[in-house]
């Protein structure tokens, strides 16, 4: 297991020789100590990235594409090992961890294909005086800051297109889950990614790390995934150097079930939208708006399905919900649940932290949640489902959009035209229409409103890591 910093192709300790403890959230045991990067280490990583990027940007797209393709193969070959690392440091069930590696690796295959298709344009100026040639060179050095909920995929979704477009990167993985990031970087070296292009510097002092990196002359872009709260702080600081930014931030997804929905399908979709990856996804269904005619059946069947969830260590066979990331997450979730109950919600299932070692919360279903209550305004990030009954369609849409977040929404109805109409009315970047999962490397991932800026994945994703240059000439 790699526990040092990766800078310029070399594994080294941090300048201060500090350590970050990595905890297994299912047991609360320390499972590893990772080198704690200082601002000086982060700057050394920026220097290394700057030197490596020049030659990389000059390689043929086909050469970069083939290295990305090989990276996909190597990550897939190491699925079991990487999944186990994810389970140990994050806690999610093994099946989810393996699914994450499949998804994470796929960004390399997808972007191997996109790398050779980065397009330009050519035209004639309206005056006829000259030609206009437009092309897309790389940006240079990109700083990447990622969250703990997808220790692999939130890195590769950025890294694969950044490399494909000809950039070098300096990654700050979260202190909670640095092990997966370090191992992925090592495997990319084995797949042929040249030294210095991928630098990984975990740190316990994120603010100082970013303060140093943002002022490095070669850094021209910040690609961040995490909470809106932190994203806002980073945007302000990035403005000092007018960095290009792509921000993948928090969510507060409405999950809407109409009377005419197939309720069994809606329950199945709700389980996916709420519970995968231990209910710690940014796309998680956060507020369940269910029409009055369907609410009894939906609530009963959903509570039964949530009651069948097996909570425990992600390493144990049959477990479908692992621990939360830390004690604070459990107490934040419980605060929202108790607040909702205080405002009159009834508890159909769960309603408290689990009575076991580790950071667990019991799967919880709340009914008759007051519209506008705290739990509907905050990202729960845990296995808690608040149900709100509605009768008036327009008012429900108003409530669904009554949030500063706009990442994901879900709509269940048998009437496709109504489903499309409502999807269009929901202010969110991604909609699952009769589907509980939206993520796909071939689709544009990202949010409206305070859920983010820019998109990852799809054909758009790689252009986020490109400049646009236009050359005026005549012949």
Under the binding rule (CB under 6 A), the answer on residue 230 touching ligand NAD is: yes
Only segment of 161-169, 244-252, 316-324, 347-355 that touches ligand NAD (CB under 6 A): 244-252
Residue from 389, 391, 369, 393 nearest 380 by CA: 369
Q: Return the number of the residue (225 or 423) whose C-beta is nearest ligand NAD.
A: 225
Q: Which of residues 376-395 bind ligand NAD (CB under 6 A)?
A: 379
DSSP state of 193: P
Sheet holding 253-257, edge to edge: 346-349, 364-367, 384-390, 285-291, 253-257, 408-412, 430-433
Measure the CA angle with vertex 91, ends 88 and 93; round to 5°.
105
Helices 228-239 and 206-214 meet at what angle, rounded to 10? 30
Question: How many residues sit in the footprint of ligand NAD (CB under 6 A)?
Answer: 28
Distance of closest approach, residue 250 Cβ to ligand NAD, in angstroms: 3
Q: Return the number of the residue (208 or 259) whose C-beta is nearest ligand NAD.
A: 208
Under the binding rule (CB under 6 A), the answer on residue 439 touching ligand NAD is: no
Residue tagged active-site, from 248, 280, 379, 464: 248
Question: Where do the DSSP E strands lie in 181-325?
Answer: 198-200, 219-225, 244-248, 253-257, 285-291
Distance of closest approach, residue 207 Cβ to ligand NAD, in angstroms: 4
Distance of closest approach, residue 117 Cβ to ligand NAD, in angstroms: 24
Token pair listed for 412: 């269940």
Under the binding rule (CB under 6 A), the answer on residue 248 touching ligand NAD is: yes
Q: Return the number of the residue (119 or 236) whose C-beta is nearest ligand NAD.
A: 236
Q: Can you list the alpha helix ranges (DSSP code H) found in 116-216?
A: 153-164, 178-190, 206-214
Q: Return the number of the residue (20 or 67) whose C-beta is nearest ligand NAD.
A: 20
Residue from 345, 369, 266, 267 nearest 308 by CA: 267
Under the binding rule (CB under 6 A), the answer on residue 206 touching ligand NAD is: yes
Query: Do residues 437 and 255 lie in contact, with contact meaning Cβ atoms separated by under 8 Å?
Result: no
Strand 346-349 vs strand 364-367: parallel, antiparallel, or unpaired? antiparallel
Under the binding rule (CB under 6 A), the answer on residue 144 touching ligand NAD is: no
Among 452, 454, 457, 461, binds ligand NAD (CB under 6 A): 452
Q: Which of residues 160-179 bind ligand NAD (CB under 6 A)?
A: 172, 174-175
3-state secondary structure of 38: coil
Radius of gyration for the chain, computed over Cα atoms and rounded to the nearest angstrom:
23
Under the binding rule (CB under 6 A), the answer on residue 233 touching ligand NAD is: yes
Among 23, 38, 115, 149, binds ligand NAD (CB under 6 A): 149
Distance of closest approach, residue 375 Cβ to ligand NAD, in angstroms: 15
Token pair listed for 33: 């100590």
Residue from 431, 444, 104, 92 nearest 251 by CA: 431
Q: Which of residues 272-291 bind ligand NAD (CB under 6 A)?
A: 282
Determine whether 248 is an active site residue. yes
Only segment of 245-253, 288-296, 299-307, 316-324 that touches ligand NAD (CB under 6 A): 245-253
Which residues are known catalytic residues?
248
Q: Which residues bind ligand NAD (CB under 6 A)?
A: 145-150, 154, 172, 174-175, 206-207, 210, 225-227, 230, 233-234, 248-251, 282, 379, 407, 447, 452
């Amino acid at each position: 297991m790699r526990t040092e910093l990766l800078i310029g192709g070399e594994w080294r300790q941090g300048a201060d020789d500090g350590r970050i403890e990595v905890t297994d959230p299912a047991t609360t045991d320390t499972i590893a100590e990772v080198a704690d990067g200082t601002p000086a280490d982060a700057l050394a990583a920026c220097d290394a990235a700057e030197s490596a990027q020049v030659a990389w940007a000059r390689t043929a797209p086909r050469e970069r594409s083939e290295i990305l393709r090989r990276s996909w193969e190597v990550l897939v070959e190491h699925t079991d090992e990487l999944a186990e690392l994810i389970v140990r440091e994050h806690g999610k069930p093994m099946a989810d961890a393996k699914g994450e590696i499949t998804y994470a690796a796929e960004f390399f295959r997808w972007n191997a294909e996109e790398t050779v298709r980065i397009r330009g344009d050519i035209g004639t100026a309206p005056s006829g005086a000259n030609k206009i040639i437009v092309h897309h060179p790389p940006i240079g050095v990109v700083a990447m800051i990622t969250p703990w909920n997808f220790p692999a995929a939130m890195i590769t979704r950025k890294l694969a297109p950044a490399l494909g477009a000809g950039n070098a990167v300096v990654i700050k993985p979260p202190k909670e889950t640095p092990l997966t990031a370090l191992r992925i970087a090592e495997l990319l070296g084995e797949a042929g990614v040249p030294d210095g292009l991928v630098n990984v510097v975990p740190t316990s002092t994120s603010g100082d790390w970013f303060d140093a990196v943002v002022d490095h002359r070669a850094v021209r872009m910040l690609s961040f995934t995490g909470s809106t709260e932190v994203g806002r702080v980073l945007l302000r600081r990035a403005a000092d150097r007018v960095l290009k930014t792509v921000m993948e931030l928090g969510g507060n997804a409405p999950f809407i079930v109409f009377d005419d929905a197939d309720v069994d399908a809606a329950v199945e979709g709700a389980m996916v939208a709420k519970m995968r990856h231990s209910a710690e996804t940014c796309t998680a269904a956060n507020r369940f708006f269910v029409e009055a005619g369907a609410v009894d059946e939906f609530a009963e069947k959903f509570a039964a399905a949530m009651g069948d969830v097996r909570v425990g260590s992600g390493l144990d066979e049959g477990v479908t919900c692992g621990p939360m990331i830390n004690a604070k997450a459990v107490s934040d979730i419980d605060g929202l649940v108790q607040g909702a109950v205080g405002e009159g919600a009834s508890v159909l299932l769960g309603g408290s932290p689990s009575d076991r070692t580790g950071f667990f919360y019991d799967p919880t279903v709340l009914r008759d949640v007051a519209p506008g209550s705290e739990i509907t305004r905050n990202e729960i990030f845990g296995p808690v489902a608040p149900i709100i009954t509605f009768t008036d369609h327009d008012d429900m849409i108003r409530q669904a959009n009554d949030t500063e977040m706009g990442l994901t929404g879900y709509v269940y109805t048998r009437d496709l035209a109504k489903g499309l109409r409502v999807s269009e009315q929901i202010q969110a970047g991604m909609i699952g229409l009769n589907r509980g999962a939206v993520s796909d490397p071939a689709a544009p991932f990202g949010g409206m409103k305070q859920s983010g800026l820019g998109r990852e994945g799809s054909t758009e994703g790689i252009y986020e890591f490109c400049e646009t240059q236009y050359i005026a000439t005549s012949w």
